[in-house]
Structure formats: structure tokens, C-alpha cells
Structure 1
Amino acid sequence: MTLNVSRRSLLALGAGLGASTMLGGTAVARAPKLGTQTPYWHRFILGDAEVTVVSDGPLPLGPPKGTFVGIPDEDVRKMLSDNFLNPDNVVLEQNSPIVNTGDKLILFDTGMGTSKAFGPTTGRQQKSMAEAGIKPDDIDAVVLSHAHIDHIGGIVDAGDKPLFPNAQYYIAQSDFDFWTDEGKLGSPLKDFVVHARKNLLPVRDRLVFFKDGQEFLPGVQAMAAPGHTVGHHMFMVTSAGKSFAFLGDLTHHAVLLLEKPLMEFSYDTDPKQAAQSRVKMLTMLAANKTPIMSYHFAWPGYGHVAKTGEGFHYYPEPMQMTL
């Protein structure tokens, strides 16, 4: 059978398919690609409080080898790839909840600040807050889970001026003493100590030390979970009978350190103590079905943990887009 195709029928077909495609060219959309992303904040209600999660940006750790230890490296890589995660670059988030109780505006942890020790994608907390409509001057309290570089780095700007001029700052005294000790400036911890001193010493007169179990702000209770640092704490945040636990760095990864919670993390001051704190606290949270927010889980880091096998499983909470 001979198929006769006229020039007119080709043009008609080209109008439907895109003439450039018919002629071997590349089709061009009517609108250009935008190259922009949604603002890096999310808001939800907790009892009578309003919680806004702001990001300091992704924090890439690089290959897991040497960072996540205690099981064979190939098993770590398989855990990542089995969960559709890059086995060659472990990327953490940095999720800070800002809780508006109606009486106080409370920020938990402050990100990397001006340090680019983990690359150029960190240090956007102030930008995220601006996108969310929150002014640094309005922050009443800054609560610090511990004094590591990625949690206290955003207290001061590049000129060492405090970014939250009206806030009081809350931290465990043991962590403050450990990480601001100038005697450690000659040790492998030097970079962390320099950064802690840069951020914590300018607000030393506004620091308040909390104790394990203390409700040091209305609806905010400290819960000691040592090991990652000597004074690492997590916090139970409660309003009108609703609660969530801000984990700080109880666990850095929603797969590796949950499925195998006794795996060790090289940034822990005492990895074995950290693993025991992790199992103890996650067991309690899973048994009580307490919602959690993890500083380093995938954005925005809010969900539940459940006991499973030798470890735990994380169930992210769907983001509610209406308040």
C-alpha cells in the first residue's frame, strides 16, 4: 500500500505535535524555566501554640565511611541504597522549630551561621526566618540542645554581633564549659571550640543553665540525653495537652541510626553513651507514641518513631497545608 502524504496534511499534523518536533528540532515551552524553590519554612499548630519550622539549609557529610561506624561499610551503603538514598553522600537537614506560645517566641538551635565547614548550602536560618515573617528582634528565648558548630553557629553575625538582641539563651552548663574551654584549642576539637567561643561568649551574660527534667520555660522541659556531647539535651514541648519532642542530635539519620541504633557516629563525644541514650529515649518515645522533631531528618523532620526489630522506624508526618 502506498501512503500519499501531502504538504498540507504534514503542516496540519505539525500544528498538533509541534512543527519543530516534526522537523527534528527542540520544542520550546511557552514559559521559561523558573529555577526557584518554595520558601524554606513550614508552620503547624500544637495545642494553643503555633510552631514554625525554619531551615538552615542542607548539610552534606560526604561518604558514610568513617562517620557511621560499628557495622561493615558495605552494610551502611546497602542501608542507604535500599532506602533510595545516595550511598556516596549522606545529606542531613537542619530543622529548627520556633514555638510561639502566645507569651514567648522560642527558637531551638541556630544552625551553622557564617561557617562553611560543611559547604555552601548551610547558614540560611536568618533568610528562612525572614521568608516566614519572623524577625530576629522578636525572639524571646534561644534554646540550645548542645554547643556543636551546627547548633550554635547562628547566634552572632560575621562581626560577632548577636543576631537575637532581645533573647535569653538556654544551654546545659556542662556543654558550655566543655566547648568554650580554651585549654582545648590545641586539641583536635579546636575548630568546634573556636566556633563555640565565638558564638557563646558574646552572650555569656544572657545565658541561663537548665537542669535535666526542669521546665525552664513554660511548656519546655529539658531531658538529658548525653553522649553526643557531655551536656546534650532534648526537649519536650507541650501546649494545651499536645506535645512533641525536639530531639536535637539524639539521632542524626532516619535510617542508619534508627534501624541500627547501636551504630556509632564519629562526631559523638562518647559514641557508646550516645547509643545508649538513643535506645533509651527512642524506646520511651515509641512506647508513648510521642511525636518527634529531629534537627537532622529530611525536611521538615516531624513525625513518629515505632519499635521494629532491633531498632526503630521513622514515619514522617504529612505536612498539613492549612492551619
Structure 2
Amino acid sequence: MPLTRRHLLQTAAAAGLAPLLPRKLIAEATLGTGLLTTVSDGNLVLPGDFIFAGMPEAELAAILAARHIDRQRLTPECNVTLWQHGDQTVLFDVGAGPDFMDSAGALQGNLEAVGVTPDQVTAVVFTHAHPDHIWGLLDDFDEPVFPEARYLMGRAEWDYWWDPATADSIGAERQLFALGARRRMEAIEDRIERFEDGTEILPGLTAMLLPGHTPGHMGFELRQGGEQVLIVGDAIGNDHVAFARPAWEANSDQDPELGAKTRVALMDRLAREQVPVIGYHLSQGGMGHVERAGDGYRYVPL
């Protein structure tokens, strides 16, 4: 997956607001004859315990200090993957939209800054239905932002969030996640295409079940011209503790034990096969590869 360029995109330059808004890092690479771009939706602002609660504090502190990570406050990037090949313009997830966090919801403006308008998107593929991945589906009038797109989600993930019982069983801190997901899914109920693990859902794009973060969380293996990349969503949720200690259970996963098992197997494959990876919350645009580092791993941005 050769890197073609990495540049800083000023989202409001055209509006004359460049000095007022932060720049967003965009990573871009070719894959075969297609183009992969990560487009920023902004970032989240999270308490450290959202991920770190229950981890061994002394060892955790050393890992975070080495990477200059604040134990109390995290600001992970949100990197939406854009795949352009021939007449296909595919988005993997749609960001948070305007209703989740003030620091996120920048996808539409950043898409337009890289030359893509919402009506040009031919397919939206969801990794999972957490707010920062699906709440950007609707506009202010509750209409789909991407009117010409096909919508695709793994069957297990769709069924989980569609079930009315999920809002009662998911826990109070995530109940709003379930209600928000259901509202957006209702808007595309008659257009959704559901698929199973291992299905080639688009040419060269194969679904890969990576459960734990959510019950039906999907990753995707994209192959073109003898090259491949794994789009892993939140199966690897950060580039610090998830790499250093992938077997540690993360509080951000809905099933922490299963999430850790999935992460360990995924890290092993990425390092062993040297397959490039794109992660939704990985830093510097989210594109890179995985190297072994002692008894853990290291993320190496492209």
C-alpha cells in the first residue's frame, strides 16, 4: 500500500476561517488502482476510565508515560475511511454527526475539502453502530446525508441494535447509544443490506467478524492489484495500551474478554503478515502497520 502523500487539510479555508479552526490530518495511500483516504470527523473527548478502568495501574502508568498519554483525559482521532476505485466511492462509517460531541461531526466539511460531495458516495459500510460511527447518518431533517448510497451492515450487528431489548440490557451508561442507533437505523430500514462474516460485499472487499467491542463488530479486508489492507474499526481502539498489552481487557469494549481475544489474534496476524491497517481511532490519520515490540506490539504510522 504505497503512501502517495500525507497532508494537513484546513477544513474551513474556503470560508475564510482558517486561523480559527484546527487543522485535520489526512492520510492517503494507493491500493492497486484505487485510492484510500482517511477523512477526519474530528475527535472524541473521553475520561480515561472509559478505556482504562480495571487495568493494572502501575504498569498502565508506565505505558502511558512513555507515550505522553494523559491517564485522565483522552482525545482520540476519528478517522473515516474513504475508498475510491472506478465508479465506486465507499465510506466506512459516517462519523458522529452534530448531536454527539462538539469536538466531532466534521466529516461532511472534510469530505467536501477532498472533493467528495454526499451525493457522490455510492456505498456506506458500517463497522458497528456506536454513536461516533453511525450518528452522522442523518441530517438536521432526519434524512440520510448520503442519498444515493447503498447501506451495508453485518447481520449480527444490525440485529443487536435493532432489538428493542438492547436499550434495557446494555447498561445505563450506554443506553443512549442504543436509542440513537435505533433511530438512525429506522431511517434506512428499507435500504439496508445485511451480510455475514466472510462475505465479499463489494468487489475486492470481504467482511471479517471482529467481535467484542460490540457483538457484531465487523472489519474488512480490502484487496486490489495484489495488495491488501485491513480496515479494523474499533477492534483496535487506540495506539497505546491496545498495542502494548492487547490481552488486557478494555472497558470500552462491550464484551471486554471477547474484545481482548479478538485483539490478540488480530495483532498477531497484522504483525506476522505485515498487512497494513486502518484504525478508526489510531493516530496520525489512522493508517499504518504493526510491529512486534518486546512482549507486545507497536503501531507505526505510514
Residue 82 of structure 1, aligned match among 66, 69, 83? 66
* 2:193 match: secondary structure: strand
Q: What is the aligned residue count?
A: 282
Residue 140 of structure 1 aligns with which residue?
Answer: 122
* 1:247 match: secondary structure: strand
Residue 157 of structure 1 aligns with which residue?
Answer: 139
Matched-pair contact (CA < 8 Å) for 1:41–1:129: no
Residue 174 of structure 1 aligns with which residue?
Answer: 156
Residue 225 of structure 1 aligns with which residue?
Answer: 210
* Structure 2 residue 274 is the aligned partner of structure 1 residue 289: yes
Higher percent of residues as strand? 2
Matched-pair contact (CA < 8 Å) for 1:39–1:131: no
Q: Distance in 2 between matches of 1:35 and 1:182?
A: 43
Post-superposition shift, 1:75? 3.0
* 1:56 match: secondary structure: strand
Post-superposition shift, 1:38? 3.8
Matches for 1:198-277 after TM superposition, within 5 Å: 198-277=183-262
* 2:212 match: secondary structure: coil
Residue 82 of structure 2 aligns with which residue?
Answer: 98
Post-superposition shift, 1:152? 0.8
Residue 93 of structure 2 aligns with which residue?
Answer: 109
* 2:159 match: secondary structure: helix
Residue 194 of structure 1 aligns with which residue?
Answer: 179
Post-superposition shift, 1:55? 0.8
TM-score (norm 1): 0.83
Matched-pair contact (CA < 8 Å) for 1:142–1:167: yes
Residue 59 of structure 1 aligns with which residue?
Answer: 44
* Structure 2 residue 97 is the aligned partner of structure 1 residue 122: no
* 1:185 match: secondary structure: helix
Q: Distance in 1 between matches of 2:88 and 2:179?
A: 31
CA distance 1:253–1:39, shift in 2 (3 Å)? closer
Give a deviation string over 1:101-122, Cα, whole Å, max 9, x none: 1131110011111223xx3110
Post-superposition shift, 1:247? 0.8
CA distance 1:193–1:65, shift in 2 (3 Å)? closer
Matched-pair contact (CA < 8 Å) for 1:41–1:128: no
Post-superposition shift, 1:130? 1.2
CA distance 1:35–1:66, shift in 2 (3 Å)? closer
* Structure 2 residue 113 is the aligned partner of structure 1 residue 131: yes
Q: Distance in 1 between matches of 2:74 and 2:21?
A: 24
Structure 1 portions without partners, runs of 5+: 1-32, 318-323
Matched-pair contact (CA < 8 Å) for 1:181–1:193: no
Q: Distance in 1 between matches of 2:24 and 2:49?
A: 33
Give a deviation string over 1:213-269, Cα, whole Å, max 9, x none: 111101111111111111111111121111111110111111111100011222312
Matched-pair contact (CA < 8 Å) for 1:65–1:73: no
Larger Rg: 1
Matched-pair contact (CA < 8 Å) for 1:237–1:246: yes
Residue 28 of structure 1 aligns with which residue?
Answer: none
Post-superposition shift, 1:78? 2.8
Q: Distance in 2 between matches of 1:235 and 1:155?
A: 20
CA distance 1:91–1:34, shift in 2 (3 Å)? closer
Residue 46 of structure 1 aligns with which residue?
Answer: 31
TM-score (norm 2): 0.88
Structure 2 portions without partners, runs of 5+: 1-17
Post-superposition shift, 1:41? 3.5
Q: Distance in 1 between matches of 2:284 and 2:128?
A: 21
Q: Percent identity at matched positions?
A: 33
Q: Distance in 1 between matches of 2:51 and 2:134?
A: 21
Residue 299 of structure 1 aligns with which residue?
Answer: 284
Post-superposition shift, 1:201? 1.3
